[in-house]
Amino acid sequence: MQNQQRQGREEHQRHSARKAGKPKHTLQIHFRRKRLKTTDVTVVPHDTLRQAISGTVVGNFMEWYDFGVYGYLAVTMTSVFTKGLPESMGLLVMLLGFAVSFLVRPLGGIVLGPLGDRVGRQKVLFFTMGMMAISTGLIGLLPTAAQIGPWAVLPLYFLKMMQGFSTGGEYAGATTYISEFSPDRKRGFYSAWLDLGSYLGSAFGAMTVAITTVVCDHIWGAGSMAAIGWRIPYLLTIPLGIIAILLRSRIPETPQFTNQLEQQEAEAAALEARGNGATQEQAKKDTPGSVPYLIHHHWRELLMAISIVAATNTAGYVLTSYMPTYLEEEVGTTPTMAAAASAPVLILMSLSLPLIGALSDRIGRKPVYAAAVASALIFMLPAFWLLHQGDFWAIQGALLLIAIPVACYAGVSASTLPALFPTSSRFGGMGLSYNLAVSLFGGTTPLVAQALIVLTGNHYMPAVYIMIFAALSGIAVWCMQESSKSPLLGSLPTVETKAEAIHLVKNQDDDPLIDTSTMPMPLVTMEVSVPEVKQPEETAAAGADGAAGTGTDAKAGAESNVSGDKPSADRQSNGKPSDDKTGGESAPQKASEQ
């Protein structure tokens, strides 16, 4: 009998607990967050993407074609523009002409970068292409030292400064443009084509010099390159420049900039509205893309970009621009042999860049950068030892070793560096960081490397110089966030097909790579139905009492909770604060736009 009574009480307690645990009320919680719609996702057709890539790659091809020509003609042009000076001094004067073009690059980045963030990427890229083509072609028409004496270097320096100013906006704008046009999950592959054009341009410049030398020597005899042949590679840029300008004029504006433009205008209007209390200095500081704004808000990203660009360009310019001089002056090869050894390596390295970019889309940008740092630290000294063996195949093997870290750096830089900055200041951030690093550590590399050899008498100093910057870039890579497969900071997602856009929107809450908080979209009101459930302590107490009165008290308590203080709008069904990035997804949702 007692067992039956005890079993009855236990059954009554279990029934009471189940009854108390059932939701009696449903709360409607409203909160605001950003939600992607299918129309928010940019779908880039393949034809448009090809047009955008070809129109930007041609600019980098022209830029590096000049680097290749100037590097391989530096020794020849020494006798043309510095006649009467000792050969070693004249070579330094010519290398100074290479360096001076880089000293004005930060000015070009400071002026053209923020301009590209205001008026558009395409307009600035069209301007830089025209300026670069004109200045490069005019070098082929300059008077020589035999005609105007030592003043001949001044117009050469002026045209090199024009090149430097235009290229100050060229690479920063081109990387920004391609990265914003590329699908997020293939940005590494498509962006790498930009640097493929760069190194193909350098290789084409080397081959042009080599072919011109052979033809001129055959037709006019030895010494004809110094007399007239050096002009031919520069004059070839005139028809090439016309083609490049036509291609550049047809590229469309990036959809990311178009989406960002309305938000920029809204921010400018807000800044103007509070203009009575804001000083001009504060107004400049609040302008995205300006130097004060970048230093104040993005100094960490600037330092990371500068470190990586410095490492990339010290190795890159040793391989492309300084190597002909090193092979001729330190190893003792002929100009033809130097060009013949370098061109195949540059072509092979160029063709590998899209493959390296595609690899970074799969494994991430940071592992590829880590491979670049490690290979630079391991291969540089053996490579320079091989160079001094003097054999053609040993020289090619050495150049291949130097090309490995350069390829790993260059294969991911065009997709990684723009991802450090938001859309509103991406062009300006790239223009400042890239050109500052290139002017200080890239363009001066041939001059510094040669000066270190002269001062120390050690032929391995260029290798040590590269290794120092590789080690510094390793710190930046360690601190950098992975950006592969993710939308650019402050940009809407970009995909290749409509089906991919639909899938992305449908699964945006489950995709850890989608962060809508930084995207230029309005907030929408979300509604979440949350069943009110008693706390476990209250449920256990209700079951222990087992009396009807206790159940009545529990019901009264629940009603007072509903009629009194309701949960705030930033709570979810699990009791945690809602996050505009990922919150509020554990219960059925209803977006106001649907």
Structure tokens at 91: 């070579």
Residue at 438 is within a domain: yes
Nearest-CA neighbor of 432 among 215, 211, 113, 183? 113
Most confident of 93-97, 291-295, 398-402: 398-402
Residue at 302 is within a domain: yes
Residue at 394 is within a domain: yes
pLDDT > 90 fraction of the chain, expressed in percent and rounded: 29
Rounded Cα gap, residues 420 and 488, in angstroms:
8
Structure tokens at 301: 């990203």
Q: What is the 3-state secondary structure (H, E, C) of 415-445?
A: HHCHHHCCHHHHHHHHHHHHHHHHHHHHCCH
CA gyration radius, the chain:
32
* All residues at 6 or more sequence positions from 343 whose CB lies less than 8 Å from its CB, including other chains: 203, 206, 207, 210
Place of tokens 């081959």: 207
Residue at 468 is within a domain: yes
**234-292 residue pLDDT tens:** 999 999 889 888 888 888 888 878 777 766 666 667 666 665 544 445 554 456 667 88
Residue at 427 is within a domain: yes
Handedness of CA 64, 66, 69, 70 (dihedral sign): negative
- The number of domains in the chain is 1
**278-334 residue pLDDT tens:** 444 555 445 666 788 888 888 999 999 999 999 999 999 899 878 888 998 888 888
- Residue 335's H or E segment, with its range, is helix 335-363
Cβ–Cβ under 8 Å, residues 81 and 155:
no
Cβ–Cβ under 8 Å, residues 336 and 73:
no
Cβ–Cβ under 8 Å, residues 309 and 369:
no
Give the pLDDT band of residue 549 (cuts 50, 70, 90).
very low
Residue at 264 is within a domain: no
Q: What is the DSSP letter of 526?
A: E
Rounded Cα gap, residues 487 and 494, in angstroms:
7
Residue at 578 is within a domain: no
Rounded Cα gap, residues 505 and 38, in angstroms:
6
Nearest-CA neighbor of 88 among 283, 329, 310, 415? 329
Per-residue model confidence (pLDDT) at position 467: 96
**278-289 residue pLDDT tens:** 444 555 445 666
Per-residue model confidence (pLDDT) at position 75: 81
Q: Is the pLDDT of residue 529 over 60?
A: yes
The CATH number of the domain holding residue 203 is 1.20.1250.20
Amino acid, res. 245: I
Residue 42: how many other CB atoms lie within 10 Å: 21
Cβ–Cβ under 8 Å, residues 375 and 408:
yes
Cβ–Cβ under 8 Å, residues 379 and 408:
no
Structure tokens at 278: 């804001």
Per-residue model confidence (pLDDT) at position 535: 55
Residue at 188 is within a domain: yes
Per-residue model confidence (pLDDT) at position 361: 95
Structural domain containing residue 483: 40-257+285-495
Prediction pTM value: 0.73
DSSP string for 268-308 = HHHHHHTTTT--HHHHHHTSTTSHHHHHHH-HHHHHHHHHH
Nearest-CA neighbor of 436 among 102, 55, 112? 102
Cβ–Cβ under 8 Å, residues 105 and 165:
yes
Q: Using N-to-C axis directions, what is the helix angle for 187-220 and 335-363, rounded to 10°? A: 170
Residue 43 pairs with which residues in a beta bridge?
495
Cβ–Cβ under 8 Å, residues 521 and 36:
yes
